[in-house]
């Protein structure tokens, strides 16, 4: 086998592994969306994607998780099919992308120590919630939707989910479903 053939084989298996990883997280997102509905842990998924994936793959993961959340909402949980509801769905997607980009920007060039892991989730969550809060001025929302109790509950869901996703990521590497080099080069 030539060096080029080995490189191509490695890229192919890496692409397959990334696809399987995205499918797994999307599948978990379906379950989380069913349980938590609008409180799906999209900021946690965005932080994980920022820390462990290259920009393109991370973006695909965030969009796939958001899309899975929306499909569960509209097809299973009977979200109202109104213009405002669709607009909020879009705002949630944009907020998840904002969380991903902010966490990615923050973690760029930094090693994945405990502080960076926690900070990535915090940055992702702050940008996610801020984007949703801003959307509320355009789309309308109640003060209750951004109360300390509600935001605290969503933060707790994201924190627990993030810890679980990190454990799942480590397990996937240990089982050789993912390569340790799945961490982004931030290029």
Q: What is the pLDDT of residues 113-170, one digit of tens each?
A: 899 999 999 999 999 999 999 999 999 987 888 999 999 999 999 999 999 989 988 8
Q: What percent of the chain has pLDDT over 90?
A: 55
Contact 65, 25 (CB under 8 A): yes
Cα 73 to Cα 88: distance, rounded to the nearest angstrom: 12
Domains of the chain are: 12-182 (1.10.1760)
Alpha-helical regions (H) of 76-113: 83-107
Q: Report CA 85 to chain centroid distance, whole Å.
A: 21
3-state secondary structure of 8: helix
91: closest CA among 134, 150, 60, 55? 134
Using CA atoms of 166, 105, 107, 176 in order, give the dihedral in degrees to the nearest 10.
40
Residue 18 tokens, joined: 């990334």
pTM of the entire structure?
0.83
- List pLDDT tens digits, range 33-59: 666 666 789 999 999 999 988 999 999
């Amino acid at each position: 086998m030539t060096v080029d053939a080995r490189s191509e084989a490695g890229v192919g298996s890496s692409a397959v592994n990334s696809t399987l990883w995205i499918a797994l997280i999307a599948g978990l997102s379906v379950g989380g969306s069913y349980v938590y509905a609008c409180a799906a842990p999209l900021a946690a998924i965005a932080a994980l994607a920022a820390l462990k994936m290259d920009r393109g793959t991370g973006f695909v993961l965030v969009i796939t998780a958001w899309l899975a959340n929306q499909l569960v909402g509209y097809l299973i949980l009977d979200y109202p099919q109104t213009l405002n509801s669709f607009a909020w769905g879009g705002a949630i997607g944009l907020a998840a992308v904002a969380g991903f980009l902010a966490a990615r920007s923050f973690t760029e060039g930094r090693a994945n120590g405990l502080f960076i892991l926690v900070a990535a989730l915090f940055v992702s969550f702050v940008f996610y919630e801020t984007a949703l809060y801003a959307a509320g001025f355009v789309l309308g929302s109640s003060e209750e939707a951004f109360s300390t109790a509600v935001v605290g509950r969503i933060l707790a869901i994201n924190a627990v989910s993030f810890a679980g996703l990190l454990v799942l990521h480590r397990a996937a590497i240990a089982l050789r479903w993912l390569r340790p080099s799945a961490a982004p080069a931030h290029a």
